[in-house]
Structure 1
Amino acid sequence: MIRLNIDNHWLEVEKGTTVLEATKSLGIKIPTLCHHPHLDSSIGGACRMCLVEVEGMRALAPSCALPATEGMVVKTRSKRVIQGRKMVLDLILSNHPLDCMTCVAAGNCKLQDYCFEYGVKDSRLRSGDEKDYPLDHSNKFYFFDRNKCIICGKCTRICTELQQTHAITMSGRGFDTHVSPPFEDPISQSTCVSCGNCVSACPVGALVPRRTERFRYWETRKIKTTCPYCGVGCQMELLIKDNKVVEVAPSDGAANNGMLCVKGKFGYKFIDHPDRLRTPLVKKEGRFVQATWDEAYRLITDKITAAKDEFGADSIAGFSSARCTNEENYLFQKLFRAVIGTNNIDHCARLCHASTVAGLAATLGSGAMTNSNLEALGSDLIFVTGSNTTETHPVIGSHIKQAKANGASLIVAEPREIELAKVADVFLQIKPGTNVALFNGLMHVIIKEGLEDKDYIRDRTENFEELKEVMENYSPEVVAQICEVNKDDLIKAARMYGKADKGAIYYSMGVTQHSTGTQGVMAVSNLALLCGNIGKESAGVNSLRGQNNVQGACDMGALPGYYPGYQKVFDSKAKKKFEKAWGRTLSDKAGLTITEVVNGLDEKTIKILYVMGENPVVSDPDTGHVKRALDKADFIVVQDIFLTETAEYADVVLPAAAFAEKDGTFTNTERRVQRIRKAVNSPGESKPDWVILMELMKRLGYGASYGGPADIMEEIAALTPQYGGISYDRLEVEGLQWPCPTRKHPGTKVLHREKFDRGKGLFKPAEYIKSAEVPDKDYPYIMTTGRMLYHYHTRSMTKRVRGIDALYPESYIEIHPVTASRLDVNDGDKIRVSSRRGSVVTKAKITDGVVEDVVFMPFHFYEGGANYLTNSVIDPIAKIPELKVSAVSLEKL
C-alpha cells in the first residue's frame, strides 16, 4: 500500500493506483475529457483537463496518468491548477464552434459543463478561421462532426483497446491532427461494427447517434436495465422522454465493463414500433379481429378446460420464452404444472443448449457456465470452438480480443474463418460435425505427452482410465483426416492447452446443435478436467447462452423434466415439495420437448399449444413440417409483442409488454441474475406477461395473486436452492451469480472451486459418430447455420430497427469462390438451395471464409430461411436437433 496526501487528507491506496483514482475515494471530482476507467492509464493525459499540482514537481501533471507514490502531496484546486485547467479550455475553444444553443449534445457535453464550471465563455486564442467540415452521415447509426472534435483520442482508444476493432485512428500532424473514421477511406474495407462505444464515450458533440426524436438531455430521465438481446447481460441506461426511449447509453456493469454492441446501443426502436400488438386478437372466419381481454381469456379457458376433460391434460403443451423474465417463466411453468396438470413445457434452450444442460450435469453436476464474463481478461489461453463470439456475444468477443492483445494465446476451431480466427495462434478449420473427434485428438496428444494435470485427476476426478483407453484411438493422423485439418496444428493446439496455467474454453451452438451434441459437451468437459481447468478463475468450461434469458428460463423450470432449480419432476421428494408449495397434485411424468410437441401436433395427440414469446415457425428445424403441424392444431394461443410468423397460425393472440415496459429479472450466461426496470408504459391494452399469466391462472380456478415481480421472486427463492438468497433489494445495485443459497451469500463467481456438484468430476469418454446426414450425389454440399452480429433470433425485433434492417434485409448463403466458380455463381446471384426437406431461394455471398463444398446460412430470416432446409433429427439424450449439419444442393437461377 502507498500513503499520500490529497488536499490535506492522508489516505492509503494500492500500488499502481493513479492520482485520479485516489481522489475518487475522497469524493473529489477532477474534470476529465479523455479519461475512461477501462483504458490504459499509462498512455492517458491527452486532454490535460485533469491537471493537478504535486509538491516537488515544477510542472502541473495529468492526474489520470500519474501513479501515486509514497508520501506524495497533491493539490487539486490550487490557484495554479485552476489557471492551468482554464488554459486547457481556452486552447480547446480556440478551434471549437460556439453553437451550444443548437448543438444536439447540449446537456451531455463535458466541454460545455467545464466551461460553465470554470467561467470560460470564449477563447482568447480564437483566430477567426473557423473549421467548416461537412457532417458525415455515412454510418447507419450515428454521424460524425469533425468541427466539434477536440482530438481527445478517447474514441480511437476505446475502439483499439477495448473494442479491439481498430476501425478509427488519429491521422495527420500538428494542426491537421484528426480522427480518421471508418468511412474516410472508401477503398479499404472498414472493420467498424457500429458498436457505438465511441459514440457513448465522446465527451462533446462530435459523434452523435442518429435520432428520430428531438430532445434535450435535461428533458430525459435514465432507467438502468439489462439488454434484451444476447446472453452477455450488458447493463445499460435507457434515456426516456415523453414515454419514449430516445437513446441508450452503456452502464458499467459487472457483465459488460461499460460496453455495448450495435444491437444494445442502437437496436431499441422496436419498442415503440407501429407494428406492436395493442389489443387481443381473435381469429374469426380465418381473419383476426380485435377482442376484449375478457373475450380472449374466456375463449382460452373454455378451450383448455374442454381439452382437459376430453383428452386429458397431456393433450396441452406450452412453449415458454428465453426472452421473458425469470418471474414470467416461473409462472408459465407453474400454470402448466399446477393449474393445467401437465409437464409439457419447453422453450428454445431445447434448440441451443439442451445438450449443455445434459452433458455438464452428467460430468460436473451442473449444466451452466463455470466462470464469469470478465475472467477472459485474465486467461493465459483461450480456446474458442463452436462459437462465432464476436458476432453472437460481441462484448465477450471483445474481452477475448483484449486478452489476446495483452498476451494470452488463442486457439480457434470452427468450420468458418471467423474474426477471431484471423488473430488466433492456431486456427483449426474443422469439417462441420467433427467436434468430438477434434476434442478427442487434443486429449490424445495431451495424454501421450504427459501434459495432463495428474494431481488434479487423482484428487478431483474419476473414470480416467476409461478415458485414456478410448483416447488411444484418436491419434493426430486419424483426427486430422476426420476433421480435415493439419495434424501439426492439432498437435500445437494440444500442447498449448496442455501447458496453459489458466486455459478457458468458450463454446456455443457449434458444439451443441448436433445429433451427438451431448457427447460434444462431455468431450469439452473431459478436456478441461484433464488439464485441471475447472474450479479455477479465468479458466473453465464456458457455454455461451444465446438469448438474454435462456439461462434463467432453464433455471425456472421451463423444461419438460425439471421443476425450478433443476429438481426432477419424477423425483418424489421434489414433487412433494412443489405440491405442498403450490397446493396441487402434480404429474411425475416428464413432458414433451419442443420437437416432440411439434410431432404431437402433427399426429393430433397434442390438441392445444400455448406459445409465449417464441417463434418456432422461423427458429425450429424443418420449417415446412412445423407449419404443417401448426395447421393441424385444434387451438393455438400466442402471447407476444408482435404478430410473428407463428402468431399468424394462432386462434388467439395476446399483446405483451416489451422488456422496457415491465419489471423483472434476467439471468445471463454467467449465471448473473440482474434487474430489468419499467421505463415506459406499454402500448394500447398490452400487459406484462406475468400479469397475463396470473389472470389466466385465476380464470382457470387457481388463486394466484402477486403484487408484482418482486413477490414472484420471493416464491422462486423459497423453492429454488440456487436462488435462495436472491431478492430485489439485493439486486438493486448489482446482480448476483447463482448459486446464492442464502441472504448473506455473496454469489458464486466460479463454480466447482472445492468440489463438483456431483462430488468428483466424471470423465465420460465419447466416440466420434458421423453426422446424421452426410453429402451424397444428390445433395453434395454440407450446409451449416448460425447467427450474425446485426440480427437477433427470428428478427421480430431487429428487422424493425431501420439501420439494422437496411444493412441486412434478406437472407444469404456463403459459398467458397471455387465452389461458386464451378456453379458459375457470382456475388449477389440468386441461388436455389435444396435439402431433403425443402428448398429456398437466397442470394450468394462469395467468401473464402468457408471451405469448398461447405456453405453457411444465418437462420434469422423467414423468407429464404435456412430452417426450411435443416434436419430435425435429434440427439437421443438431450433431444436437441441437428441444426448445424444438413446436406444440400445448389442451383443458380
Structure 2
Amino acid sequence: MSYTRLTEPLVRDGSGLRPASWEEALDRAAEGIARTVETRGPDAFGVFSCARSTNEMNYVAQKFARAVIGTNNVDSCNRTCHAPSVAGLAQVFGSGGGTSSYQEIEAADVIVMWGSNAREAHPIFFHHVLKAVHNGAKLYVVDPRRTSTAKWAHRWLQLNVGTDIALAHAIGREIICSGLVNRSFIDRATSGFEAYAAEVEQWTPEVAALETGVPAELIEELAHAYARADRAQLCWTLGITEHHNGTDNVLSLINLSLLTGHVGRYGAGLNPLRGQNNVQGGGDMGAIPNRLPGFQDILLPEVRAKFDAAWGSKIQPRYGWHLTQMFEAMDRGELTAVYAIGENPVQSEADSGRTLKRMQNLEHLVVQDIFLTKTAQQAHVVLPAAAAWCESEGTFTNSERRVQRVRKALEPPGGARDDIDIICDIARRLGHDWYYESAEQVWDEMRALSPMHRGMSYQRLAELGGIQWPCYSEDELEPTYLHARLWAEDPAERGEPAGFAPVRHSPPVDELSEEYPLRLTTGRRLDSYNTGVQSGGLSSPMRRGETIDLSPADTEALGVVAGEKVQISSRRGSIVAPVRLDEGLRPGLAFMTFHFPDEVDVNLITIEATDPVAGTAEYKASAIRIDKLPAESAV
C-alpha cells in the first residue's frame, strides 16, 4: 500500500473521516480532551509521543500531558523496543544511555554484537565496527540467524531464541572459574558479586550448550576473549530487549561488563543501538511516565517543585502508565482518550488485532501524523503534521547520546503544520497561554531545567557538530564515555556502586507444541523502515515484500518451495506469505519482518506477553505452525 501525505485536517462524522478546517479540527480535538478530563479525570487520558520527531516536540508533548492535562500517562515506541535497556542501565548505573561513543568502537579489541543485525538495522554504526575489524578487532556475533552482520564475524554463536541469560551466565561462570575477573574493579566499584557468582555456578559451558545450542568450546572462547581484552564493547538491540524478560536479558549482559571492568573507560562499554532516529531523545525529554526531562525522577519533591515553578502547574507525584499499561487500562475502561503524535500502534504492537479493537473503542482519539496510518484511520480527529527530519527545526539525540541540530529544508505540503504549533493551539483552547516563537526557545526552556543538557546551546551544537550528554556547562565538555567515576580512587567520587543482578533464565512464554512446532522471530531488513508507512510505497529493485524465511530442512519437511504461499498460524491468528529460503536459519526457526503490514500483518500472530519491568512485548519468540495452501491459493 502506498500512503500519501496528509495535507488537511480530518474529522469523523459517523463512520467516516471528512476534510475540515484547522479551526474545526482543533476545536473538536480540544473539546473531546476537555470532556474526558472533566467527566473521567486526567488519568483517563494518555499521550503517545514520537521517537521520530524532535527533542523539542517530545518536550512539549510531555509538558502538555503534565501541565495541561495533569497526568503522567505519556510514553512512546521506546516501550516497544529499548525500554528494557533503559531500565537495566538505569538500575545499575543511574542513567539509561549507552556508555560509549561510536568512535570508541574503532579502538576496541573485542566487539560482541548480541541480538543485533547492525549491518542492516544500524548501518552507520556498523561502519565503525568494520573499521575496528579492519584494525584487528575480533567481532563475535550472538544471534539465532546467520545475518549479514554475522557474515563479518570472527565467530558466530547461533543460540536458540530466548536463551540469552543462560548463555550470558555460562560466559560469566567461565570468566570466574578461569580467574579472569577484574577483582580490583569488582571490589572497588560493584556490589552483589557473591550472589551473582552463586546464581551462575550451575551454568557450566556443557549445561549451557544443551540449553542454548551454542557449543561449549565457543562459549569458553568468547568468555576468554572478552575477559582478556584490554578494551571490549558489548552491543545489543531488539534480539535482547523484545522478550518477556528483556530487562533481565540486559542485566545479564551488564553483569559481564562488571565482571571484567569493561565499562567507564575509553573504548570499553555497553551500547544499546536505538532503532529510530530519536528513541533516545524522547526518553531524555521526559516522554516517559516516570521521569521528567534529564531523567529526573518524578517522585522527588525537589524535582517536581522545580518544574512546577517553571511551568506554573502541579505535577502529579506518581508514575503514570507506560504504553503497555495504557492498553491494559483501555481494556478496563479506565483510559478512554488518547492523543497519538506520530505513533502507529495499530501496526506496531504485538497481537495487533487486539490493539485495533482497543483503539476503535476509545471515546476520543486524536492522531497527529504525516500519513493516514491505520491508527489515524480510527481517529476522531486527524491533524496533518510537518515531517520532523526535513520540515522542522530542532534537535535529535542518537544512540551515542549525541544531540545534533536538525534544520528546516522544505515547507510542509498543503495545510500541514509544525507539531509544536499544533500542540500549543490545543493547549490554548484548554486554557493555557502557550506560545513558542521557535524551536530554540523550547530547547532553552528545557535545558534550563535539565542539568545534563545545560551546556548545549544551539550555537554550541552547531559549532561542535553535536554534543554528547551529559554537558553541564557551556565552558566544558564531559568525556565521551559514561561512568568514569567507577574507577576513581576516592570512594566519595565513585558514588553508589554498580550492582550485579543475579537474574534467572526463563524460556519463551509461547511454548512450542505439536500443534505449533516452529519458533518465529521477527526483525528488520535494510531496505525497509518499521511499519512501512514511510517506505512501503517506494518502488525499488531492493523491495521484495514480506516473506516467511525458512531453513532448507524445514522447507523440505513441509513440502514447500521458495515463492510458494503458505498459511502461518499462531495461537492468536493466521496470515499468508510466500516462502523464502534462508540457509542462515537452523531447523525449527522462522523469520519475518513487520515492514509490510498492509500485505502481511505479522503482528497479528506475535504474542503480547510483556516484560513486567519495562512493558516490552516478546516479539522475538512466537510459536507457529505452517500449512500448505490449496494449489490455486499458493501462487
Partner amino acid, structure 1, of 2:434: A
TM-aligned CA deviation for residue 376 of structure 1? 1.3
Partner of 1:831: 566
Mapping for residues 112-261 of structure 1, pairs under 5 Å: none
Partner amino acid, structure 2, of 1:841: V
- Counterpart of 1:736 (choices 438, 462, 467) is 467
- Counterpart of 1:759 (choices 483, 493, 496) is 496
The number of equivalent residue pairs is 620
TM-aligned CA deviation for residue 747 of structure 1? 4.2
Partner of 2:161: 432
Partner of 1:706: 436
Partner of 1:541: 270
Partner of 1:27: none
Partner of 1:311: 40
Aligned CA-pair RMSD: 1.5
Aligned partners of 1:568, 1:697: CA distance in 2, in Å? 25
Partner of 1:112: none
The superposition leaves residues 136-186 of structure 1 with CA deviations (integer Å, 9 ceiling, x where unpaired) of xxxxxxxxxxxxxxxxxxxxxxxxxxxxxxxxxxxxxxxxxxxxxxxxxxx
8 Å CA contact 1:365, 1:758 repeated in 2 = no
Does structure 1 residue 587 correspond to structure 2 residue 587?
no
TM-aligned CA deviation for residue 285 of structure 1? 2.3
TM-aligned CA deviation for residue 702 of structure 1? 1.0
Aligned partners of 1:741, 1:755: CA distance in 2, in Å? 19
Does structure 1 residue 866 correspond to structure 2 residue 597?
no
Aligned partners of 1:306, 1:647: CA distance in 2, in Å? 21
The superposition leaves residues 689-711 of structure 1 with CA deviations (integer Å, 9 ceiling, x where unpaired) of 11111121111111222110000
The superposition leaves residues 314-361 of structure 1 with CA deviations (integer Å, 9 ceiling, x where unpaired) of 111110010010000000010011001111111100011111111111
Does structure 1 residue 876 correspond to structure 2 residue 605?
no
Partner amino acid, structure 2, of 1:883: Y
The superposition leaves residues 396-441 of structure 1 with CA deviations (integer Å, 9 ceiling, x where unpaired) of 1122122112211111110100123223222110001111111111
Partner amino acid, structure 1, of 2:276: Q
Aligned partners of 1:694, 1:308: CA distance in 2, in Å? 18
The superposition leaves residues 731-777 of structure 1 with CA deviations (integer Å, 9 ceiling, x where unpaired) of 11310000011111224410011238862221112111111122111
Aligned partners of 1:748, 1:329: CA distance in 2, in Å? 26
Does structure 1 residue 847 correspond to structure 2 residue 582?
yes
Give the structure-2-normalised TM-score.
0.96
Partner amino acid, structure 2, of 1:685: G
Partner of 2:535: 798
Taking only the aligned residue pairs, the percentage that are identical comes to 39
Aligned partners of 2:237, 2:212: CA distance in 1, in Å? 18
Partner amino acid, structure 1, of 2:545: E
The superposition leaves residues 613-662 of structure 1 with CA deviations (integer Å, 9 ceiling, x where unpaired) of 01111111001100111111111111011111111111111000012111
Partner of 1:638: 367
Aligned partners of 2:287, 2:224: CA distance in 1, in Å? 41
3-state SS of 2:485 partner: coil
Aligned partners of 1:831, 1:412: CA distance in 2, in Å? 31
- Counterpart of 1:660 (choices 390, 402, 405) is 390
CA 1:345–1:765 in 2, change beyond 3 Å: closer, same or farther?
same
Partner of 1:246: none
8 Å CA contact 1:782, 1:886 repeated in 2 = yes
TM-aligned CA deviation for residue 589 of structure 1? 2.3
8 Å CA contact 1:318, 1:336 repeated in 2 = yes
TM-aligned CA deviation for residue 855 of structure 1? 0.6
3-state SS of 1:552 partner: helix
Partner of 1:718: 448
Partner of 1:102: none
Partner of 1:574: 303
- Counterpart of 1:623 (choices 329, 344, 352) is 352
8 Å CA contact 1:315, 1:607 repeated in 2 = yes
Mapping for residues 35-434 of structure 1, pairs under 5 Å: 275-434=4-163
CA 1:274–1:516 in 2, change beyond 3 Å: closer, same or farther?
closer
TM-aligned CA deviation for residue 809 of structure 1? 5.0
Partner amino acid, structure 1, of 2:562: D
Does structure 1 residue 604 correspond to structure 2 residue 333?
yes
5+ unaligned residues in a row in structure 2: which ranges?
488-493, 630-635
Partner of 1:227: none
Partner amino acid, structure 2, of 1:602: D
8 Å CA contact 2:536, 2:596 repeated in 1 = no
Partner amino acid, structure 1, of 2:201: E
8 Å CA contact 2:3, 2:533 repeated in 1 = no
TM-aligned CA deviation for residue 540 of structure 1? 0.3
Does structure 1 residue 527 correspond to structure 2 residue 217?
no
TM-aligned CA deviation for residue 274 of structure 1? 8.1
Aligned partners of 1:377, 1:554: CA distance in 2, in Å? 27
Aligned partners of 1:876, 1:496: CA distance in 2, in Å? 33
Aligned partners of 1:391, 1:586: CA distance in 2, in Å? 41
5+ unaligned residues in a row in structure 1: which ranges?
1-269
Partner amino acid, structure 2, of 1:616: P
8 Å CA contact 2:95, 2:295 repeated in 1 = no
8 Å CA contact 2:231, 2:268 repeated in 1 = yes
3-state SS of 2:306 partner: helix
Partner of 1:207: none
Partner amino acid, structure 2, of 1:794: T
Partner of 2:418: 688
Partner amino acid, structure 1, of 2:41: G
Partner of 2:632: none
Aligned partners of 1:487, 1:755: CA distance in 2, in Å? 33
Q: Whose Rg is larger? A: 1
Partner amino acid, structure 1, of 2:458: Y
Does structure 1 residue 487 correspond to structure 2 residue 216?
yes
Greater relative contact order, per chain length (Cα 8 Å cut-off, separation 6+): 2
TM-aligned CA deviation for residue 801 of structure 1? 3.0
Aligned partners of 2:145, 2:290: CA distance in 1, in Å? 35
3-state SS of 2:324 partner: helix
Does structure 1 residue 473 correspond to structure 2 residue 202?
yes
Partner amino acid, structure 2, of 1:781: L
8 Å CA contact 1:410, 1:425 repeated in 2 = yes
3-state SS of 1:799 partner: coil
Partner of 1:678: 408
- Counterpart of 2:557 (choices 795, 818, 822) is 822
8 Å CA contact 1:738, 1:748 repeated in 2 = no
3-state SS of 1:755 partner: helix
Partner amino acid, structure 1, of 2:618: E
8 Å CA contact 1:602, 1:630 repeated in 2 = no
Partner amino acid, structure 2, of 1:386: G
Aligned partners of 1:716, 1:726: CA distance in 2, in Å? 11
TM-aligned CA deviation for residue 394 of structure 1? 0.6
